[in-house]
Amino acid sequence: DTAVSQTPKYLVTQMGNDKSIKCEQNLGHDTMYWYKQDSKKFLKIMFSYNNKELIINETVPNRFSPKSPDKAHLNLHINSLELGDSAVYFCASSQPGANTEAFFGQGTRLTVV
Amino acid sequence: GEDVEQSLFLSVREGDSSVINCTYTDSSSTYLYWYKQEPGAGLQLLTYIFSNMDMKQDQRLTVLLNKKDKHLSLRIADTQTGDSAIYFCAERSDYKLSFGAGTTVTVRA
């Protein structure tokens, strides 16, 4: 069984469109994250949620809106897509605390044309 | 990540040891992690070390921590072709992992 699953795996869309990426975890974790990996492989946190509440928002544009309907899901909706949004987006989950392992999904490769 | 730094590339011959170095800035970090990313895949946790430890060994992996210099290293013994990947070090707080830029390890025959 996949621990952290993201859909879709690949997403190609035109500038200006609105798209969503879904993430689900079946590990019973309280904390979920979204990370962005750019073309140079830098990984940067975008959001973290704990028990459906936003904990970290790392200066992400308002066009990005995460939504956590329950603890097992953290979806990412992006409005008015721009070329610079092209990247691989990773969802992850963990229990809170610095000594807990974070499990990552396989990533969603978003290409904006 | 701006707080965690790594060298970007390492080329190693199959069978040799690989050493990947990392420096971090947050002295309050209690846990430091190493992740592996193979092409087209997500991140896989390799190992981690608690800040009150100097060394941790796990099969072919050895992690060394110099807390005074905020320096972390990962040694892979008997490097194999399957070890070719990007290796990220990361420092952890309660709700965030801050990653280095990743070291691309290439194993040559």
Mean pLDDT of chain A: 94
- pLDDT tens-place string over residues B7-43: 899 999 999 999 999 999 877 767 899 999 998 888 9
Q: What is the pLDDT of residue B1?
A: 43
Range of weakest confidence among A51-60, B15-24, B68-77, B80-89: A51-60
Q: What is the pLDDT of residues A7-17, one digit of tens each?
A: 999 999 999 99
How far A64 CA lies from chain B's nearest CA (Å)? 18
- Read off the pLDDT band of B95 (50, 70, 90): confident
Taking residues A65-74, report their average pLDDT. 95
How many C-beta atoms surround the C-beta of residue A9 within 10 A? 13
Distance, in Å, from the CA atom of B63 to the CA atom of B46, rounded to the nearest integer, reads: 10
Q: Which of A104, A106, A108, A109 is the best substitution to test chain B (most B C-beta atoms within 10 A)? A: A104
The distance of A24 to chain B (nearest Cα, Å) reads: 15
How far is the alpha carbon of A50 from chain B, nearest alpha carbon, in Å? Answer: 8
Q: ω into residue A8 within 30 of 0, thus cis?
A: yes
Measured distance CA(A16)–CA(A26) in Å, rounded: 33
Task: Spell out which residues of chain A touch residue B45, defining contact as CB-CB under 8 Å.
Answer: 101-103
pLDDT at B59 over 80: yes
Find, in chain A, the residue whose alpha carbon is nearest to that of B46: A101
**Looking at residue B26, what is its pLDDT?**
78
